[in-house]
Chain A
Amino acid sequence: MIGLTQVYALAGLVFAGFAVLSLRDTANPRRLRNALFWGLFALTFLAGDRLGDLGNGVLVLVMALTAALGLGRSGSGAADAEARAASARTHGLRLFWPALLIPVLVLAGSLGVRHGGPALAALVDPKQATLVSLSFAAVVVAALSVRLFRQPVLSPLTEGLRLADTVGWMALLPQMLAALGAVFALAGVGAVVGETVTRVFSMDTRLAAVAVYCLGMAGFTVLMGNAFAAFPVMTAGVALPILVKVYGGDPAAICAIGMLSGFCGTLLTPLAANFNLAPAALLDLDDRYAVIRAQAPTALVLLAVNTVLMHVLAFPAHP
């Protein structure tokens, strides 16, 4: 059955390719560091399950230290602006078709596995249908594009490395933050934050309690980087005992709007690195927090809107 194992093997091979290309890239003065970084990335994907917990810990430590020393950018791969413009003139709108084919294949793949009958469901792990389809689409469309647009056979790797080096060490951060979240959970950080919030703020009116829950979901999400970590703590601490039991609110409306208040926090925090920091690196922005700054006004207004919506919609008209 095709599932995470095969996707990880593919990712491992791609990262191993990045490592080899980095090593051979004499134009990059930091090529050894880059090769080590991408090589270790490949190792986690190819052999992570056989390294043991401590082995994986040491591996992350070495990766993080290597990255913190500073990685270089690959010099190979990038076609010059003139060549790209010429290719754009030659191929025109046809360039969009492969880009559109990626979502079509992802969609067809994930729907096919879920509803395409037992044969497909036996071939692909239904729980990983989207990730498997995305990986499949990435390979097929890369091969197709190389052929259609007469690019060098190795260009998926050289160009992939060019983009990966644009992202640089930021490529590692989302996975490290996910691991930090697990350590926080192990140490019971969430429960302590939740207790502190409920102890510090008074909730003797319905509006105050609604505000504590909505702002608490957002604030907690900013600190933990993830609304999913904030939700159980804030809902068990504030929403169920006070908003539902004391003020008679509708649990579905309260939870749904509470979660969306947490999403406002996600838009504001550097700890949600895959949404907020990685795109800044990918788009070559000088300010690491530029995407957060662009989102902040919308997030803050929506947080206020959520608080009002909950206050107005989630409670019976005559309490």
Chain B
Amino acid sequence: MGPMLVLLGVLLVVAGFAVGLNPLLVVLASALATGLAAGLSPVEVLAAFGKAFNENRYVSAAWLILPVIGVLERSGLQEAARGLIARLRSVTFARLMLAYLLFRQVTAALGLISIAGQTQTIRPIIAPMAEAARASEAGVEALDSSEAQKVRAFAAGTDNIGLFFGEDIFLAIGSILLMVGFLEQNGITVEPLHLSVWAIPTAIAAFLVHGVRILMFGRRRPGS
């Protein structure tokens, strides 16, 4: 049983997220259980967690983009994005999302992962455009809240999918470097290029699979 005890923290996370407890508290409880199971005292766990928290500040530094996006929204960027799509009848929901998926995959494959994203592109521009396109296809002024939320969630998912299945084609991305380093430690020498070419079949499959889902979402009647 001994070493299995450290899995208690993983179980706590799964159960806590499934039941819908506040994730911040779930994470703290899981860290405490894991640390105690590994033989640390509560104070040592808190110190270890604090150290790792401090070392990972760059994760939250990403929120520095909020003020500029906020100013642009206050200036009417979301409304301008909606208005543009309402005027361009040929830009359907499906064409918009397919073009964005392709753009995100191709730019990520060139290593340009930070030029778009949920905060800087999806919220102020792509999501309002997708909503406007769906509304004009449905012949309504604005989508009802539940349909609008579905469209926004789909746009957010499309950004992640484009990013994940594009970036691994780039040679110098973190995951490629991790694989090269790991294989090196195990006595296998692999060129980054050999890893990145093997990301191409999945990238094509991702475009086809998600592309079909975009077309299906576009054909769906709003509300169904």
Residue B24 contacts which of A91, A176, A294 (CB distance < 8 angstroms)? Answer: A176
Cβ contact within 8 Å between B66 and A164: yes
| Interface set of A (CB-CB < 8 Å, partner B) | 4, 7-8, 10-11, 14, 41, 44-45, 48-49, 51-61, 64-65, 67-68, 77-79, 84-89, 91-93, 95-96, 98-99, 102-103, 106-107, 110, 130-131, 133-135, 137-139, 141-142, 145-146, 149, 151, 155-164, 167, 169, 171-184, 186-189, 192-193, 196, 223-224, 227-228, 231-232, 235-236, 240, 244, 251-253, 255-257, 259-260, 263, 266-267, 270-271, 273-280, 282-288, 290-291, 293-295, 297-299, 301-302, 305-306, 309, 313
Cβ contact within 8 Å between A142 and B71: yes
Residue A87 contacts which of B59, B76, B165, B182 (CB distance < 8 angstroms)? Answer: B76
Residue B213 contacts which of A52, A280, A282, A298 (CB distance < 8 angstroms)? Answer: A298
The 10 closest A-B pairs by CB, nearest first: A159-B70, A57-B50, A88-B76, A56-B50, A160-B67, A182-B52, A103-B115, A256-B198, A187-B38, A57-B46
B95 at interface by CB-CB < 8 Å: no
Please list 20 pairs of residues, one from A and one from B, whose beta carbons are closer than 8 Å in the complex, sorted by A's number.
A57-B50, A91-B80, A92-B80, A102-B120, A138-B64, A138-B68, A141-B68, A151-B71, A163-B73, A164-B66, A174-B59, A175-B59, A178-B52, A179-B53, A193-B7, A240-B188, A255-B179, A257-B198, A291-B160, A302-B206
Cβ contact within 8 Å between B38 and A186: yes
Closest chain B residue to A142, Cβ basis: B68
CB-CB under 8 A from A130, the residues of chain B are: 114
Expressed in whole angstroms, the minimum distance between the Cβ of B7 and any Cβ of chain A is 6
CB-CB under 8 A from A277, the residues of chain B are: 23
Cβ contact within 8 Å between B202 and A260: yes
- Main SS at interface, chain B: helix
CB-CB under 8 A from B125, the residues of chain A are: 96, 99
Residue A93 contacts which of B79, B84, B149, B157 (CB distance < 8 angstroms)? Answer: B84
CB-CB under 8 A from B83, the residues of chain A are: 88
CB-CB under 8 A from B72, the residues of chain A are: 95, 98-99, 145
CB-CB under 8 A from B198, the residues of chain A are: 252-253, 256-257, 313
- Main SS at interface, chain A: helix
B143 at interface by CB-CB < 8 Å: no
B77 at interface by CB-CB < 8 Å: yes
Cα A37 to Cα B187 with chains together (Å): 48
CB-CB under 8 A from A260, the residues of chain B are: 164-165, 168, 199, 202
B13 at interface by CB-CB < 8 Å: yes
CB-CB under 8 A from B194, the residues of chain A are: 252
Cβ contact within 8 Å between B47 and A44: no
Cα A285 to Cα B10 with chains together (Å): 27
Cα A146 to Cα B70 with chains together (Å): 11
CB-CB under 8 A from A179, the residues of chain B are: 27, 31, 49-50, 52-53, 56
Cα A94 to Cα B87 with chains together (Å): 16
Cβ contact within 8 Å between A283 and B156: yes
Cα A84 to Cα B52 with chains together (Å): 42
Cβ contact within 8 Å between A283 and B55: no
Cα A234 to Cα B210 with chains together (Å): 27
Cβ contact within 8 Å between A160 and B10: no
Expressed in whole angstroms, the minimum distance between the Cβ of B134 and any Cβ of chain A is 14
